[in-house]
Structure 1
Amino acid sequence: MLDESLLMTLESIKKQIKTMFCQHMNLSLEEVTDDDSFFSLGLTSLIHAEYFKSLCHSFGELPSTVLFEYPNFNLLSEYLCEHVQNLVVDSGNNE
Structure 2
Amino acid sequence: AVAEMALAADIGATIVSDTKTPLHAWLFGEDQARYVVEADSGDAVVAAARAKGVPARVIGRTGGAALTVDDLHTISVETLQNAHEHWLPNYMAAP
Query: Do they superpose with TM above 0.5?
Result: no
Report which of the two has the higher share of helix. 1
The structure with the largest alpha-carbon Rg is 2
Report which of the two has the higher share of strand. 2
TM-score by length of 1: 0.32
